[in-house]
A and B are shown apart, each in its own frame.
Chain A
Amino acid sequence: MSLPTITRLPSARLLSSLLLHHQHHLLLPSIAPLTVPTRLIHAEYRRPGKPKENLWQKINIDFSKGMKGIKKNFTLLKNEFFDRWVGPEGKPILEHMLEQNRVVWEFRGPESLEHWTLSSDREVGGQSEVYLKLGKNSNTCFLYGTLNCTPPRDGETRYSGYCTMRSKQPLASFDRKKHHDWSSFNTLHLRVRGDGRPWMINLATETYFSHQKDDIYSYFLYTRGGPYWQDVKIPFSKFFLAYRGRIHDTQHPLWVDKVNTIGFTLGDKANGPFQLEIDFIGVCKDYAHTEECAYEMYKRNPEV
Chain B
Amino acid sequence: MKCARCLLQLQCLTLVGQSARPAAQYGTLLQSASSSQLNVLHKTQHQVLRRFHGSPACAKSRPVRAEVINEDNKKGDGSLVTYDNLFEQVTKEAQTKATFIKVVNVFLKRDVRRRGHVEFIYAALKKMPEFGVERDLEVYNKLLDIFPKEVFVPVNFVQRMFNHYPRQQECGVQILEQMENYGIMPNIETKVLLVQIFGLKGHPMRKYQRIMYWFPKFKHINPFPIPQQLPEDPVDLARLSLTRIANDRDAKVIVYQLPCTDITESGEEVTLPHVIGIQSPSQMELLAKHNPSKPVFVEGPFPLWLRKTCVYYYILRADPTPPEEKIEEPYDPERCFFYPLQLDLDLDRDMGEEESFDVEDLDEGPVFAMCMTSRGDEATLNQWISGLQQNNPILGQVPTLFRLDAGPKELQGAADSESGHDHHQRPDPETQREERQTEKEIVEEELQRRSRGMKQ
Contact = CB atoms under 8 A, between A and B. Distances in A.
Contact of B224 (A222, A231, A249): A222
B247 A139 contact: no
A222 B414 contact: no
B223 interface: yes
B359 A226 contact: no
B77 interface: no
B223 A302 contact: no
B210 interface: yes
Contacts of B348: 98
B302 interface: yes
B411 A227 contact: no
B370 interface: yes
B350 A273 contact: no
A195 B353 contact: no
Interface in A94-144: 95, 98-101, 136-137, 139-140, 144
A284 B310 contact: no
B245 A225 contact: yes
Nearest to B412: A273
Nearest to B303: A195
Nearest to B213: A301
Interface in B312-351: 313, 315, 317, 348-351
Tell which of A100, A196, A228 has the most Cβ of chain B within 10 Å.
A196
Interface stretch (B30-38, B269-277, B361-369): B361-369
A142 to B, nearest CB: 8
A273 B408 CA distance: 10
Interface of A is mostly: loop
Nearest to B313: A226
B162 interface: no
Tell which of B213, B224, B305, B359 has the most Cβ of chain A within 10 Å.
B305
Interface residues of B, number: 46
B303 A275 contact: yes
A228 B367 contact: yes
A247 B214 contact: yes
Nearest to B201: A304
A302 B206 contact: yes
A255 interface: no
Contacts of A139: 363
Interface residues of A, number: 41
A146 interface: yes
Given A100-B350, A196-B305, A273-B414, A224 B245 contact: yes
Given A273-B303, A273-B411, A229 B359 contact: yes
B210 A227 contact: no
Tell which of A136, A191, A227, A272 has the most Cβ of chain B within 10 Å.
A227
Contacts of A270: 305, 307-308, 310
B137 interface: no
Contacts of B317: 227
Interface of B: 206, 209-210, 213-214, 217-218, 221-224, 241, 244-247, 302-308, 310, 313, 315, 317, 348-351, 353, 355, 357, 359-360, 362-364, 367, 370, 408, 410-411, 414, 418
Given A196-B306, A224-B245, A303-B209, 10 more contacts: A98-B351, A100-B353, A220-B222, A226-B370, A227-B245, A227-B315, A269-B308, A273-B418, A275-B411, A302-B210
Interface of A: 95, 98-101, 136-137, 139-140, 144, 146, 191, 195-198, 220, 222-231, 247, 249, 269-275, 284, 295, 301-303
24 contacts: A136-B364, A137-B364, A139-B363, A146-B410, A191-B357, A195-B305, A196-B244, A220-B221, A222-B224, A223-B224, A226-B244, A227-B315, A227-B370, A228-B245, A228-B362, A228-B367, A272-B310, A272-B418, A273-B303, A273-B408, A273-B411, A275-B408, A302-B213, A303-B209
